[in-house]
Structure 1
Amino acid sequence: MIEWILAEWMQIVGFATGAACVFLAARRNVWTYPLGIANNVVFLAVFLPAGLYAAAALQLVYLALGVHGWWRWTRGVEHDRHYIARTPRGAILWLVVVGVAGAALLTWVLSTFTDSQVAVADAATTSASLVAQYMLNRKWLENWFVWIGVDIAFVALSVVTGLWVVAALYALFIALCVFGWRSWRRVGSDAAADAAAPGAVDARA
C-alpha cells in the first residue's frame, strides 16, 4: 500500500484537490479557483508523461480561465452567491462553434505534431472542457451538463491510458456535477421566486 501511494502520489493529490475544487464550485464558493489552479499544476505533471498532450496543455489554459473566473466571482455580477443564470440563447451557437472548431484544430495539431494515440478523444474532451469552464465562470447553469459529458469521456480515456486513479476521480466528478446542477438549480429557482414576489426588492440594486 505504501509503495503504491509513493508511486501514485501525484494522481492522489490531483484526486483530492480536484474533488475539493468541484465540490466548492457546486457550493458556489470562490475558493474553488485557487484550489483549481493548484490542481492544474498537479495534472500537468500527470498528463505529460501519459501522452495526453492536449489535456496537459488544457491545464495551462485553465490557469488563465481560473484567473478570469476568480475575477468574475469576486468583482463581477457573479460575486453574488445567489446569482445563477441560464445560458443565453445567443451564446449557445457560438459555444458549439468554438467547441467544434477547437476540437478539430487540436485533433490536427495532435495528429500532426505528436505521437498521441488518442488524438480525437483528447482534443474533443479538451475543447469541451474549455467551453464548460467558461460557462462555469459566468455561472451559467448548463455548464454542469457539459461537465458531465466531459467527465464520462475522461473516465474512458483515463482507463485506456492506464490512469486508474484519475479515472476514479472523474467518476466522482460525475456525481459531484449532478450535485452541483441540483444545488445551482435550486438556488436559481429560489432567487427567481423571490424576484417575482410582490414588493420584492433587488438585493443587488
Structure 2
Amino acid sequence: MQSLVDLLQDITQQFVAQSWLEAMAVILAIAYVWLAARENIWCWPCALISTAIYTWLFWEVSLVFHTLLNGYYLIMAVYGWQQWKKQESEHIPIQSWSMRKHLIRLVILTSIAFSMTAFAGMWLDSEYLYLDAFITVFSVYTTLMVAHKVLENWLYWIIINSFACYLYFAKEMYLTGVLFIFYVLFAIYGYVNWRQQLLGKRYASSASA
C-alpha cells in the first residue's frame, strides 16, 4: 500500500506530466457536471468533447467496458442536447420516480451487469471486471435519466462515481480519480439543487390551484 505522501506525490507528478488531451478532458468533464447540476444545456457539448477524449484514454489502460461506455456517452451527449432543447421549448419540468420503479430497474440492471461479466470473463482476464461492468451498466442507465431530468439520477451518480473513484485509483489513474471525487460532490449539489426546484414548482402549483 502506498503511503499518503507517496500517493500525493504520484498525483502531483501526473498533474505535471499529463497530456494536454487528458487535461482538456478533465476540465470539460468538470464543466459538464457543474452545468448539468445547474440545468444548463451547454453541459452536453462539454460532455461530447470530454468523452471523445476519454474513449481513447480508457482504451489505452485496457478498461474495455469503460471504453464502450464512453462511446455510448458520445451518442448520449447528442441525444441529451436534443432532449433538453425540446424540454426548454415545451417547459418539461424535473420529475421524480417512485421507489417501486427504481427497485425494478435496480434488479434488471444488476442482472445485466452479472451477465456481461460472466460473458466477458470467457475472453478477458481483468482483476476489476465486475466493477468495470457494474459501473458501465448503471452509468448507461443513469445518463438516460439525466437526459430526461429524473431527480434521482444524482443519487445513482453518488454511488457510481464513488466506486469509479476507487477503480481509477486502483488503476493508478490518479488524476481521473481526483476528478471523480469532485463528481461525487457535484452529484450531491445537483441532487439538492434539483430537489429544491422540484419542490418549489410543486408548492407553486398547489398554491395556485
Question: CA–CA distance in 2 between the matches of 1:30 and 1:109?
Answer: 37
Residue identity in the other structure for 2:116:
L
What is the aligned counterpart of 1:56 among 67, 71, 75? 67
For the aligned residue pairs, the C-alpha RMSD in angstroms reads 2.3
Question: CA–CA distance in 2 between the matches of 1:152 and 1:78?
Answer: 35
Residue identity in the other structure for 2:70:
Q
Give the secondary structure class of the aligned counterpart of 1:197: helix
What is the aligned counterpart of 1:131 among 136, 141, 145? 141
Taking structure 2 as the reference length, the TM-score comes to 0.85
Unaligned runs of 5+ in 2: 1-11
Q: What displacement does 1:114 show?
A: 2.4
Paired position in structure 2 for 1:197: 207
Paired position in structure 2 for 1:33: 44
**Corresponding pairs, count:** 198
Q: What displacement does 1:113 show?
A: 2.3
Unaligned runs of 5+ in 1: 200-205
The percentage of counterpart residues that share the same residue type is 22
Please list the CA deviations of residues 131-173 of structure 1 after superposition, one character each: whole Å capped at 9, or x if unmatched: 2111111111100010000010011000110000000000000
Q: What displacement does 1:45 show?
A: 1.4
Taking structure 1 as the reference length, the TM-score comes to 0.87
Give the secondary structure class of the aligned counterpart of 1:84: coil
Question: CA–CA distance in 2 between the matches of 1:101 and 1:196?
Answer: 40
Q: What displacement does 1:186 show?
A: 0.8
Please list the CA deviations of residues 35-92 of structure 1 after superposition, one character each: whole Å capped at 9, or x if unmatched: 11111111111111111110111011112222222221111479638x2110245642
**1:40-51 counterparts in 2 under 5 A?**
40-51=51-62
Question: CA–CA distance in 2 between the matches of 1:78 and 1:107?
Answer: 41
**1:144-183 counterparts in 2 under 5 A?**
144-183=154-193
Give the secondary structure class of the aligned counterpart of 1:165: helix
Q: What displacement does 1:123 show?
A: 0.2
Paired position in structure 1 for 2:85: 74
Paired position in structure 2 for 1:141: 151
Mark the CA change 1:114 to 1:59 in structure 2 (over 3 Å): closer, same or farther.
same
C-alpha contact 2:165 2:180 (8 A) present in aligned 1: yes
